DNA sequence: CGCCAGGACGCCC
DNA sequence: GGGCGTCATGGC
């Protein structure tokens, strides 16, 4: 996906919420649809939680980068049509300037996902597989690939292996609680040590997190270098130099943390989805930069039932 | 009690 | 290169 979107969302009002925090309303019509519920419940982020009794509103913290204060954000999608994903999005915790400079990009609202659907379907090899993909895209319509912080995605997806989403969220929340209610930096993991991470419930993944922190701090793994690789395999191999990072975790980090949208993570859910929908086999390569979005739709549809 | 979870490692052949 | 047991933990 190009990200050189034709129609950027527009801030239609800015105010101070009763909480005292800044808030903006954003016109999301004509950008290809957006669903808060699906985007924050499709397993790409683990630090947002549904507001009680609200299927269409979430609240969570966004890591903006090392040394930059996190943003506590409430995302209210109740003004978006659940079918078309068109309407007004309300964000509490940021003003218009922060939205335009950072969060329009974070939500990937400048990318035309309707065009992406057409590209994906046109790349399907036959009518039967096209029908299967069409159904999955319909179910996942409104999902956006968030542009998250690479370090946060690395840590959370190391924790994801042989684990389930509720428990990943639990461990991440304990990690943040142990680091002053913010996401830990590499130095924080070093300070906690493998024993400390183990005590927080990371299990056998504790040593993986220690290794990740050490290799980031030493420069053996470098996010700028990863970002600069042309070939997906080069970026994947550098990430796989970290203990506990294999093809699946690397794919998630590249997709969600580096917006390498040609990544196509395959986990147990995806294996089930692919075997069920495409028994003759499935090749994500022809999907190009839309492979990651197609994967998210297949994953969401499979897990949603 | 068992089984499973956004897998990867270490070892075997 | 493929196959298989193992790894912590919590929820069911």
Q: How far is the CA of A274 from the C1' of B13 (A)?
A: 30
Q: Is the pLDDT of residue A66 over 80?
A: yes
Q: How far is the CA of A225 from the C1' of B6 (A)?
A: 25
Q: Is the pLDDT of residue A234 over 60?
A: yes
- Catalytic annotation on A248? yes
Query: Residue A42's pLDDT band (boundaries 50, 70, 90)?
Result: confident
| pLDDT value of position A3 | 47
Q: How far is the CA of A142 from the C1' of C9 (A)?
A: 33
A247 touches strand C (CB under 7 A): no
Percent of chain A with pLDDT over 70: 98
- Report the pLDDT averaged over residues A214-231: 98
Catalytic residue selected from A7, A207, A248, A272: A248
Q: Is the pLDDT of residue A4 over 80?
A: no
Query: Residue A41's pLDDT band (boundaries 50, 70, 90)?
Result: confident
A4 touches strand C (CB under 7 A): no
Give pLDDT tens digits for A69-100. 999 999 999 999 999 999 999 999 999 999 99
A164 touches strand B (CB under 7 A): yes
Q: Nucleotides on strand C with an atom closer than 7 A to protein CB?
A: 7-11
| pLDDT value of position A6 | 61
A167 touches strand C (CB under 7 A): yes
CATH class of the structural domain A10-131: alpha beta
Q: Please state, in angstroms and rounded to a whole number, the distance separating the CA atoms of residues A305 and A301.
A: 6
Average pLDDT over chain A reads 96
Most distant pair of Cα atoms in chain A: their distance: 56
Q: Which CATH superfamily is domain A150-257 in?
A: Hypothetical protein; domain 2 (1.10.340.30)
Q: Which residue has the higher pLDDT, A53 or A196?
A: A196
Q: Angle at the Cα of A225 (from A224 to A231), degrees rounded to 5? A: 125
Q: Nucleotides on strand B with an atom closer than 7 A to protein CB?
A: 4-10
A243 touches strand C (CB under 7 A): no
- Report the pLDDT averaged over residues A264-270: 94
- pTM reported for the whole predicted model: 0.97
> Would you state the torsion angle of the CA atoms of residues A283, A237, A192, A267, taken in this order, to the nearest 10 degrees?
10
Domain boundaries, chain A: 10-131, 150-257
Amino acid whose CA is nearest the C1' of C7: A204
Q: Which two tokens stand for residue A216?
A: 């980031």
Give pLDDT tens digits for A96-113. 999 999 999 999 999 999
- Report the pLDDT averaged over residues A36-60: 94
- Report the pLDDT averaged over residues A114-134: 97
Q: Is the pLDDT of residue A279 over 50?
A: yes
Q: Please state, in angstroms and rounded to a whole number, the distance separating the CA atoms of residues A303 and A72.
A: 28
A237 touches strand B (CB under 7 A): no
């Amino acid at each position: 996906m190009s990200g050189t979107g034709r129609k950027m969302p527009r801030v239609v009002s800015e105010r101070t919420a009763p909480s005292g925090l800044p808030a903006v309303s954003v016109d999301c019509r004509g950008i290809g649809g957006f669903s808060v519920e699906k985007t924050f419940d499709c397993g790409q982020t683990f630090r947002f939680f549904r507001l009680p009794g609200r299927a269409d509103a979430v609240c969570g913290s966004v890591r903006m980068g090392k040394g930059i204060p996190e943003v506590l954000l409430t995302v209210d999608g109740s003004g978006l049509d659940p079918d078309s994903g068109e309407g007004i999005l309300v964000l509490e915790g940021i003003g218009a300037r922060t939205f335009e400079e950072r969060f329009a990009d974070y939500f990937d609202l400048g990318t035309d996902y309707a065009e992406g659907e057409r590209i994906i379907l046109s790349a399907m090899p036959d009518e039967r597989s096209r029908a299967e993909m069409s159904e999955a895209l319909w179910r996942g319509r409104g999902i956006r690939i968030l542009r998250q912080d690479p370090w946060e995605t690395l840590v959370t997806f190391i924790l994801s292996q042989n684990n389930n989403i509720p428990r990943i969220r639990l461990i991440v929340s304990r990690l943040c609680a142990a680091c002053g209610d913010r996401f830990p930096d590499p130095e924080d993991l070093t300070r906690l040590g493998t024993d400390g991470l183990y005590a927080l419930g990371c299990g056998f993944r504790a040593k993986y997190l220690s290794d990740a922190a050490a290799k980031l701090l030493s420069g053996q793994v470098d996010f700028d270098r990863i970002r600069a690789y042309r070939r997906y395999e080069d970026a994947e191999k550098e990430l796989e130099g970290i203990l506990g990072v294999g093809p699946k975790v690397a794919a998630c980090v590249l997709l969600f943390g580096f917006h390498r949208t040609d990544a196509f993570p395959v986990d147990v859910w995806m294996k089930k989805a692919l075997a069920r929908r495409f028994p003759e086999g499935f090749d994500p390569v022809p999907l190009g930069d839309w492979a990651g979005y197609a994967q998210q739709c297949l994953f969401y549809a499979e897990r949603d039932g």
